[in-house]
Structure 1
Amino acid sequence: TACASGTQSIGYGLELIRSGKVDLVFAGGVDCLVRKEVVVAFDVMTVLARSNNDAPEKASRPFDTHREGFVLGEGAGFFVLESLDHALQRDAHIYAELLGHAASSDAHHIATPNPEGPGAQKAMRWALEDAHLIPDQVDYINAHGTGTRINDPTETKAIKKVFGGSAYQIPISSTKSMIGHCMGASGTIEAIACVMSLQQGIQGRIQA
């Protein structure tokens, strides 16, 4: 599941706990892709940022008019997921509550999404349903936000379709503006950033 794998591991962990089969799950993702053959492959696909070499902190510019693509990142992120009863029993520090998840695919192309974003729309709608939430109850959206010419408008359309008028009121940003695209690790690393945002009341972003 490529760059969704870290996020999906969290969702599958939630399902395992809900099923009653386990009380605690380690869920996460890791990827190490910054090597010549991988960089060349993505460059051939024209999905990497090429400018701002003299100011690399501005190279990853999700949703920016002048975006060119993403910057490869590396890393790992893991969660300890557990039932509330189990967490209370061991007197664990509870950082956040995971209410729901969902996964989908538009089966459009291995490397590009359907421009109308039907798969993303389904995933977000199903996640809201699973969490028993309505769009107005969402306070922040951590976008996939790769910064490619194709992804960002597709994701924007999907968010507007699902959240309607609320999409214009909900803060939206992409963690990839700060850490690059960590591929298989991106979902869990960005989920950790979201949890820390909840703790600190600050949404992460870089102003280009």
Structure 2
Amino acid sequence: MSHDTSSDPRIVVAEVAAAGLAKHLPQLPRQHQRELQPVVGPLRQHVATLRYSFLPPRQAAEQGLLDPIESAGASLLRSWDELSRLQKPSERMAASWVRFAGVTLAGLRRRLLEGEPRFSHSIEAVWGSVAHVESIAERLWRLKIDAGRLGKFTVVTNLPGVSSGDVRAFAVLPPRRIGGEISQGMLIEAEGEGEPGAPALPVGRSEGEVEAALREAARELGVRV
């Protein structure tokens, strides 16, 4: 039985991650470009091979189509600790794309085998502890969220009433500038509650907001949805 991998949102978002990474890689210092190029160079082709394989997820996994993508994600995540120290705005944006791609690609196998072909299942959404809240403009706050195994993320939100120590669900999304700051995700509505790093799933209005953000990123990068 074939599977329309060409329109599966989980694979489409993997291509968004690869395309955004390729676009922003030249903004990194040359040393980091050289280190990451062997990973980034073939990545989009690996994702395209998966996207147009028309194989059910389990069969694609058995044939090894997920292996190079998962390996690339792990390599990108290993580079984040050093990249997180970069200071120039363009370098920080590129570093955030490296992180988004790493998180997204490293978890692709699990989402394909355990999730559903929906945008809400195409990204990593987890519970996190709000470590810091700072007002950066009227009705705009910068949050530092500790997501346990995934580390700490910066999220810019217009949602009032968020306090340090709160446990909130958030989705790791393509980075974007909001109020002059780089936001690496979005607070979401999710059922129940979990420890930092535990999986969450967007529900209600958040499911549509996540899909809209991912479609917009795909449009900007020229990725067909």
TM-score, structure 1 normalization: 0.28
If asked which structure has higher relative contact order (CA below 8 Å, sep 6+), I would say 1
Task: Considering fraction of residues, name the structure with more helix.
Answer: 2
Task: Considering fraction of residues, name the structure with more strand.
Answer: 2
